[in-house]
Amino acid sequence: MGKKSMEIGLSIGSVLVLTAMLIMVNLLTKPGALFETIPQSYGFVASLVMFVLMVSGIGVKLAIYK
């Protein structure tokens, strides 16, 4: 697999993971859900932080990849 196709695949995958995290935050913070006492905005911020860390890690790994 070439570097370009790996980069495209990882980019699409990371966006799908972000979408899944945002959906999970939305479902878990609704009234009557498991984490209803936690404000929904905290979950969204945590999802974005995890996304940025994941994309940064991918970028570092791709820079090392030959």
pLDDT band at 18 (very low <50, low <70, confident <90, very high): very high
Domain total of the chain: 1
- Structural domain that includes position 7: 3-64
Looking at the predicted structure, is the pLDDT value of residue 37 above 90? no
Higher pLDDT residue, 52 or 37?
Answer: 52
Cα–Cα distance for residue pair 56/1, rounded to 1 Å: 21
Predicted pLDDT at 55 = 94
Entry pTM: 0.81
Residue 17: count other Cβ atoms within 10 Å of its Cβ.
Answer: 15
